Chain A
Amino acid sequence: MLAVRDLVTAYGKIEALKGVSLEVAPGSITCLLGPNGAGKTTLMLTIAGVLRPRSGRIELDGKDIAGQQPDVIVSRGVALVPENRLVFPSMTVLENLQAGAYQRKDDFAPDIERVLERFPRLRERATQLGGTLSGGEQQMLAVGRALMSRPRLLLMDEPSLGLAPLVVEEIFRTIAELHRDGTTIFLVEQNAHMALKVAQRFYLMEQGRVTFSGDPGSLAEDEVIRRAYLGTARV
């Protein structure tokens, strides 16, 4: 579904992605692991159109979408749940969800209902401002907002970051449900243990490059975790 080829993204002279290639199969959960500063978030932002790549291709169903504006990427059926959630702080929970459906011309009220069913806490807070929610609630809202565009491919950047274990479980339960309903998911995670439980395929990234790819059984979990947090360079 998604194929990234030799992608280079730079901040000024510093290349954060030094030729990244990877694939996300349709209907799969694919996970990207790696230490801080490996370029995982940069990759997500480049796929979503927030950052412009210097070179390389991002193919969605065979068509290059590299360098398109974020709203164009959304219209192609890709949605990103960004790192640190980025909910709209001065808009209500309902307005946040409606904003996620901005491009839709059809009636999206049933989709809002579905999100509120999935996350009952959001229903309780429906008229509260996004900025007043707890971290976990904001993460649910960010996921719900991304779902409002009915994405075929959902990108998630560290959805469990800084959340209580119970909330993390709730988020991962949602990921599994979305996958079962047919959404393809590309997940960046620090929580390697949880990620490897749901993923069919994973990639390891270090210093702007993909250093390993395989299915969750292909490498012992403690080895994955060691590399994901520390990188191979320190061994």
Chain B
Amino acid sequence: MIDFLQNTLDGLAAGSSYALLALGFTLIFGVLRRANLSYGPAIMFGAYAATWASLNFQMGLILLFAVTVAATVLAGAYVERLCFAPHRRGTAITAMVASFALWMQFEELATLVLPRHLYAFPALYAGEPLTVGPLTLRVEAMVMMLVAIVACAALWFMLFRTRFGAAVRAVIDNPVAAGLAGISVPAISVRIFALASAIGGVTGFLIVSAQEQVTPMLGMWSTLKGMLAMMLGGLGSLPGAVVGGLALGLLEAHSQWYLGPQLRDFLAYFVLFVLLALRAPWMNTRSAS
């Protein structure tokens, strides 16, 4: 029972980071109707920029946080300008393939500047974990959950209580109708891209400062986890992204405990496969028009 509770807690912590990644993916996917494969690599770029800064300058955590977020947003802007702005009227596949090309660019650039496979990253919290009875509470994990909760609340407020948010929902509902209502779809898209990149930067910083290390694999890892969580939650739904992220975290934590690490990733993909094959009602399994 204690193990089950501990695994659930760990799963929710990991799931919070997946939920944040999935939120970023979903914001971009909902507004632009395009998958941004470079979302994870842009986060990796941000983390590498901070790693490079910490290796060359004396920097506190707050400054490193700022560098990570700023560099991720910068990388996101680069992706938006090169992959998404020129293909706004083109097909979704063009933008996706272009974003894959930039993924390779980011990875090559990262390994060019910092060629070792693994670099240490300053820890978010260096002290002992807290214990509540038999349960262990890692401070980094709790920060991650807290940030996820705050991010969800802030996003909800933005979407449902501001004029900008209403325009974003209008674009998500129907971009053509939004344009006809006088909403500038390109302007909304750029801002949402920046917002999603900022969320990615925050999440990336929390992930690498919790793991206390950075590798070039962070890019692929973030894209895979974020897209998997987004798809589990039903592709394009923001609440779905949160639920999908938490579900993925719980699934991984429990399957790691009961089945071992080899089967952990397999199970997540297997569940996605089964849900898609059974056309789970919350998933957009109708063919795109």
Contacts and interface: CB of A to CB of B under 8 A. Distances in A.
A98 B166 CA distance: 9
B173 interface: yes
A90 interface: yes
Given A91-B169, A99-B167, A102-B163, A86 B180 contact: yes
Most chain A beta-carbon neighbours within 10 Å: one of B170, B181, B183, B184: B181
A51 to B, nearest CB: 9
B183 A102 contact: yes
Interface string A131-154: 000000000000001101100000
B23 to A, nearest CB: 17
A229 interface: no
A179 B266 CA distance: 65
Chain B interface residue bracket vs A: 20 to 34
A7 interface: no
Interface in B170-229: 170, 172-174, 176-186
Nearest to B89: A52
A69 interface: yes
Nearest to A81: B180
Contacts of A102: 163, 166-167, 170, 181-183
A70 B169 contact: no
B173 A69 contact: no
Contact of B173 (A79, A91, A149): A91
Given A102-B182, A149-B181, A50 B169 contact: no
Given A95-B166, A98-B166, A102-B163, A145 B173 contact: no
A67 to B, nearest CB: 12
Given A88-B170, A91-B170, A71 B176 contact: no
A24 interface: no
A48 B169 contact: no
Query: DSSP class of A's interface residues: helix, strand, loop or mixed?
Result: loop
Contacts of A74: 180-182
Contact of B179 (A69, A95, A149): A69
A122 interface: no
Contacts of A52: 89
A82 interface: yes
Interface string A95-137: 1001110110000000000000000000000000000000000
Contacts of A211: none
B179 A86 contact: no
Contact of B180 (A70, A75, A91, A98): A70
Contacts of A148: 181
B183 A99 contact: yes
A41 to B, nearest CB: 12
Nearest to A88: B173
A145 B181 contact: yes
A69 B180 CA distance: 9
Contacts of B177: 82, 86-88
Given A86-B174, A88-B174, A100 B181 contact: yes
Contact of A50 (B163, B176, B182): B176
A69 B169 contact: no
A99 B184 CA distance: 12
B5 to A, nearest CB: 37
Contacts of A146: 180
B182 A80 contact: no
A50 B173 contact: no
Contact of A82 (B166, B169, B173, B180): B180
10 contacts: A50-B179, A69-B179, A74-B180, A86-B180, A88-B169, A88-B170, A90-B173, A95-B166, A99-B183, A145-B181
